[in-house]
Structures are given as C-alpha cells and as structure tokens.
Amino acid sequence: MSNWEAVIGLEIHVQLKTRTKMFCRCPNGFGGEPNTQTCPVCLAFPGALPVANRRAVEECIKLGLALDCEIAERAVFHRKNYFYPDLPKAYQISQYDEPLCARGKLAVPTENGDITVGITRAHLEEDAAKNVHVAASGRIHGATATLVDFNRGGTPLVEIVTEPDLHDAESAKRFLQLLRQTVVELDLSDAELEKGSMRFDVNVSVRPAGSDELRTRTELKNMNSFNFAAKGIEREIARQIRVYEQGGIVEQETLHFDPAHEESPPMRSKEEAQDYRYFPDPDLVPVHPPVDVVERLRGEIGELPGARIKRIADTLSFYDADVLVTGGLDRLWADVVAAGAEPKEAANVLANQFVATGIAPSAVNAAELAKLVSARAEIPRAAFDEALAKTGDAGFTAAPYLEQKVVGDAAELDPIIERIIDANPGQAEQFRGGKQGLLGFFVGQVMKETGGKADPRVVNERVREKLRA
Ligand code: ADP
Ligand code: MG
Ligand code: ZN
C-alpha cells in the first residue's frame, strides 16, 4: 500500500464542428490556404462586432446536459486579456463567473462500480489562431520565422473543467475516452487528438493517503494521446512522491509535454497566477437559454456511452463492453448479433480485427458481416482478412468468401505433410533431436503449399505427429 494518494483534475478543450466560427460568419474547419477564412471580426479590426453563434451555444448546452450540468439562466461572455501573436484582439472571448453549464458529473463505469467525476463547468470560448514555426522541426526553438494562420482563430471551443476527483492515471485515461466518445456521439466535434480538435491539460498533485487537503499541483499541457497522458500522469505522481519523501516541496509549474504540436504562452511558475483582467465583453449580450430550447436539446440526447457499457457488460465481459463502446463499435456489434452472430465472437472480430481496418462502422452491412463472423473458423485466414477489409464497400457480400473453405481434413493434408518432411530430411532430424522451434518451419511450408487454406490447428497437430513417427 502506498502512503500517498494522487489527485487529478482535467481541463479539456473540444473544437465544435459548427458551419461557421464562434463570433463571425467565416467558415469553421481550418485547413484551407492560410488566412483565407478570415474577416474583420476574427482578424480583430477596430470596430468590428462579434455576434455569438446560436448553434455553438446550443451545442455547448447539449454537452452540458449530457454531463448532467445545470444550465445557466443567464450566461455571460468575458474578455480574458493577454498578449500573444495568435490572439489579434489581445484578449480571448471566454466565460468566467457566469458559464453556460456548471456543477455536473460524469460517471465512468469500472468493473467495480462507477467512478463519479464532478464537472466544475463547461463553457464556450473561441480558439486562437495557429502559429506555424518555419523550421525543419516545426518547433519554436531554432525556427527562422513564425507565421500566423488566422483560419483557426475564432473556432468555437467548449472547455470542460473537472473537479479534482480522479486518483489514478488509468481512470483519468478512461474518463477522457468516455468524454471523447460522448462528444463524438452527440455529433458536436470530431474530437480528434491528432488534429487538435480535442486537447487537454492534466493537473496533478499528491497528498498523504486518507487526507483531504489539496496540495500544490503541476499542470501537464499539450497532451495528444490518451496513453501519453496516462504515462505522463504516472511519471508526475512518482516524481512528486519522491520530492516529498526527500523532504522537498513541489513547485507549482507547467510542464509542456509535446511542444512539437501546439504551444501555449510561455509560463514560468510564478506567472501561473497571471491576472487576465477578466471583464464582461460589452460587445456581446448575455445569453438566456430559453427553457423550451434546453428541453428540446435534452430530448435529442440518446442513451449515453457510460450507460451502454454497463448494459452490454451484462452480455459480454466488462472489458469487451468498454472497448466496443469507447471504440464506437457497439451499435454495429448489436446489429451483427441481431443478424445471427454469436455475441462474444462478434465482439472479438470487431474489437481485434475490424477496428484495425479503419472502416467506418456506419458503412457496414451488418447482415453480411454477421455471415462472415459466423463462418470465421471455416474460411482461410487470408480470405477472412480480405473480406473484412472490404466490409465497408458498397454492395459488399460475404458469399464469395464463404465458399473458400479451409482444408482441415487429415486425409487431404497428410500427403502434403509427408512430402514436405521427405524434402527436408535435415530439419526433420533436428526437430527429432529436440529443436522444437522447427515445427513452425514445417507448418509454414504446409500453409504455403495449400495457399493458406489449411486449418493451422490441424496442420500443427498432423505435422507434429508425422515428425514423431
Ligand atoms: P486554473 O487552471 O484556471 O487555475 P483551477 O484552479 O480551477 O483553474 O483548476 C484547474 C484544474 O485543476 C481543475 O480541473 C481542478 O480540478 C484541478 N485542480 C485544482 N487543484 C488541484 C490539486 N491540488 N491537485 C490536482 N488538481 C487540481
Ligand atoms: Mg489551468
Ligand atoms: Zn471571421
């Protein structure tokens, strides 16, 4: 038992995929030629006036409802003042003490019950522009110049802040995966970590086990993978414990994890308590979400991923249910099972093989996939893999693949096996002398000879038997 307990709180930014930006009518979804999706508002020309994007407000409310938040009767946009080249107004429009959504929770199911994480707030803000450092490495260090692409400036962002309710890296990772899946299913964002449409910062501290004090935390920024985050958290917990056990104190600081991708205004420890001089943006009216709109949005939320994990874990193992749901595969799984496939077998194929194909589950004809799953043991592995890779094609049918049966009949395989053993007397001798590893050599030859159609289990068994003879 460790004498220390970790305390973890998360701040997550999600880019909304609205048609237009947060406060102007420029197209949202940067990626075009730099600085082509801009206007006087998002370039901060003097006198240009922002207007809040209704759709973005509704989407933030929807996410807030999914996170069990209270929706404010009045929400206010504030100016958060700081200077950085990617911020032309020298302030970001954000929300401060009157956010759209607050006091929610998200339950992360585990094998031993839920871990409930408090949601402090979910508010709306605008993204900054993108700085592009001109250097081979893409990093600011060693760059010869920095260019600014304002296409991203003004992209609607929802920031979600959690209470410091998490206590280990694995749970933090699962929380993030569940939140990501929630956002994706609500169709609010692609939430793609590699593209930066979901980004998160992790706050970590440790305290003596059993205490409820909150000690000084450090913040890990710019994480772009869940596994990376989990590793970073683990390392940081261990480091802080070492510091305390050696009689030191943990300094409040920001640790940049992947500077190659994104960067934040540089911060040193003391500047963390930066004064942003927040004040209400006088150019924007407060938002008063009408009750009927909130209720309509609530009605649009289907069964959420956490609930589905628990429901599916009644049929499958908790692990399988979790993988299917957080991978966005459980609806296809249910359809494949409804079409006649065995549940566990279907889960295995989807979670282990289908997921690697990168095919969109929605593109798949579940009935055809069910046929394939049910016949998996009878068709050659190569044919199965090929079929699986085509399940997303329009008009895909399993039939041609189902005809390719594996050869599992000893009478058919034995002569081939004998021929191969006769052709390789040296290896056969070595195998008999104890070099067990050569079994694979013979099995491989047989598989090759049969064009991959032999049942590997039967081949293994027969080869072993023949070599011993
Ligand atoms: P800011 O980053 O703007 O200073 P907060 O102080 O509200 O904002 O906290 C940001 C995040 O840090 C929240 O997710 C919160 O749960 C978490 N947090 C706050 N104190 C601690 C702590 N002592 N240990 C770990 N996480 C913490
Ligand atoms: Mg912070
Ligand atoms: Zn614009």
CA distance linking residue 76 with residue 68, whole number of Å: 20
- Cβ proximity of 426 and 391 under 8 Å: no
- Whether 9 and 53 share a structural domain: yes
Same domain as 220, residue 110: yes
Establish if 243 belongs to a structural domain: yes
- Ligand number nearest CA of 5 is 1
DSSP readout, 77-126?
A: -EEEE---TT-TTSEEEE--SS-SEEEEEEEEEETTEEEEEEEEEEEEEE
Ligand 2 centroid, distance to 2 Cα (angstroms): 28
Do 155 and 90 fall within a single domain? yes
Residues 255 and 377 both lie in one domain: no
Decide if 295 is inside a domain.
Answer: no
Calculate how far, in angstroms, residue 198's C-alpha sits from the geometric centre of ligand 1.
19
Q: Which atom of ligand 1 is nearest to the CA of 10?
A: 14
Measured at the CA of 84, the angle between CA 79 and CA 88, to 5 degrees, comes to: 65
**Which range of residues forms the domain containing residue 361?**
303-402
Residue 158 and residue 21 share a domain? yes
Distance 146 CA to ligand 1 centre (A): 32
In a domain, 38, yes or no: yes
Shared domain for 93 and 181, answered yes or no, is yes
Look up the CATH number of the domain holding residue 435.
Answer: 1.10.10.410
Of all ligands present, the nearest one to the C-alpha of 264 is: 2
Query: Does 152 map to a domain?
Result: yes
CB hemisphere CA count around 392 (13 angstroms): 12
**Which residue among 161, 163, 212 has the greatest number of ligand 1 atoms within 8 angstroms of its CB, and so is best to mutate?**
161
Query: Do 188 and 78 share a domain, yes or no?
Result: yes
Q: Classify residue 298: in a domain, yes or no.
A: no
Same structural domain, 265 and 238? yes
> Do 367 and 442 share a domain, yes or no?
no
* Residue 373 resides in a domain: yes
392 and 421 within one domain: no
Verify that 9 and 156 share a domain, yes or no. yes
Please indicate, yes or no, whether residues 248 and 361 belong to a single structural domain of this protein. no
How far apart are alpha carbons 265 and 329 in whole angstroms?
A: 38
CA 336 to chain centroid, in Å, comes to 24
Pairing of strands 156-162, 78-81: unpaired
Residue 297 lies in a domain: no
296 domain residue, yes or no: no
- Among 360, 384, 402, residue at a domain's last position: 402
Which residues are 219's β-sheet partners? 203, 254
Domain end, chosen from 224, 256, 289, is at: 289
Q: In terms of DSSP bridges, do strands 113-126 and 101-110 run parallel, antiparallel, or are they unpaired?
A: antiparallel
Cα 390 from chain centroid? 25
Which residues lie with the beta carbon below 6 Å from any ligand 1 atom?
7-11, 161-164, 203-205, 214-215, 217
Q: Is 315 exposed, middle or buried (0-12, 13-18, 19+ CB in 10 A)?
A: middle
Structure tokens at 441: 């050599």
Report the alpha-carbon distance of residue 38 to residue 24 in Å, rounded: 9
User: Looking up tokens 């280990």, which residue turns up?
Assistant: 168
Per residue of the chain (469 residues), what is the pLDDT tens digit? 579 999 999 999 999 999 999 999 999 986 789 999 999 999 999 999 999 999 999 999 999 999 999 999 999 999 999 999 999 999 999 999 999 999 999 999 999 999 999 999 999 999 999 998 887 776 777 788 899 999 999 999 999 999 999 999 999 999 999 999 999 999 999 999 999 999 999 999 999 999 999 999 999 987 889 998 999 999 999 999 999 999 999 999 888 765 444 444 445 554 555 789 999 999 999 999 999 999 999 999 999 999 999 999 999 999 999 999 999 999 999 999 999 999 999 999 999 899 889 899 999 999 999 999 999 988 888 889 999 999 999 999 999 988 887 777 888 889 999 999 999 999 999 999 889 889 999 999 988 888 878 888 888 889 999 888 7
Tally of domains within the chain: 3
- The pTM score is 0.86
- HSE-CB at 21 with a 13 A cutoff on CA atoms is 26
